Amino acid sequence: MMRGVILFNLGGPETLADVRPFLFRLFSDPDIIHIRNKLARNTLAWLIAATRQRKSRNLYRQIGGGSPLRKITDGQAKALEERLAVRGCAARVYVGMRCWKPTIDEAVEQIRRDGITQLIALPLFPQFSVTTTGSCFGYFRSVAQRAGLAATAHISYIDAWYSEPLYIESMAELIRDWAALQRPLHPGNVRQRRRPVSGADTDDGRAD
């Protein structure tokens, strides 16, 4: 049995030149723009990409000239593959971007070539939305069907994981870190400001 995991994300333009084609792919998605006629939907997507590209380029320019999402997602895939190996559950981890590269099509082809027979489809969106997880799953199913992967691999889908305790704790930790950086004018305000964040005072080294 060959195990695999495919991580889904929307993707993002890696260079300023990628911004317009990325926007077109994003807004030509029928799960985002609910227009059944493909020509009409693509025409609208072209107009949106043409009118928004300048503003979007300026925003990406402010963070270094492109989205870091691919690098971050590739890092997550590598870390997951390593952790699974340590736990004795070896699996190949793939990345499929709905609106950019590496595409879901490329990921499916690689999964098929690797002979994966048991696959977990894991979106990197904690909560389900038809415009993110729904779009990724829908497109993935169609590609997997065409490529014959659906017939050779058992595919399990994880719709949402927002209620996972470790995820909740990681979010709480980020909030606590943020709260610790806030410097109230009066020391007596510290406990008052932290209570809504943690729900209770803790002895984890973050005491006032």
pLDDT in tens, 32-86: 999 999 999 999 999 999 999 999 999 999 999 999 999 999 999 999 999 999 9
Residue reference for tokens 């723009």: 33
pLDDT at 184: 62
- pLDDT band at residue 182 using 50, 70 and 90 as cut-offs: confident
Angle subtended at Cα 140 by Cα 121 and Cα 113, rounded to the nearest 5 degrees: 80
Q: Which whole-number Å values give the CA distances from 156 to 4, 55, 162, 175, 186, in the listed order?
A: 10, 39, 18, 32, 53
With pLDDT > 90 as the criterion, what percentage of the chain qualifies? 85
- Calpha distance 115→144 (Å, rounded): 13
Domain ranges within the chain, ordered by starting residue = 165-198
Residue 189 clears pLDDT 90, i.e. is over it = no
- At 85-106, the pLDDT tens digits run 999 999 999 999 999 999 999 9
Smallest Cα–Cα separation from 95: which of 138, 66, 124, 132?
Answer: 124
- φ, ψ dihedrals at 61, nearest 5°: -60, -35
Cα dihedral 155, 161, 165, 166 sign: positive
Q: Distance between CA atoms of 136 and 179, rounded to whole angstroms?
A: 35
| 206 pLDDT above the threshold of 90 | no
pLDDT of residue 197: 42
pLDDT on residue 151: 96
Question: What is the average pLDDT across 3-21?
Answer: 98
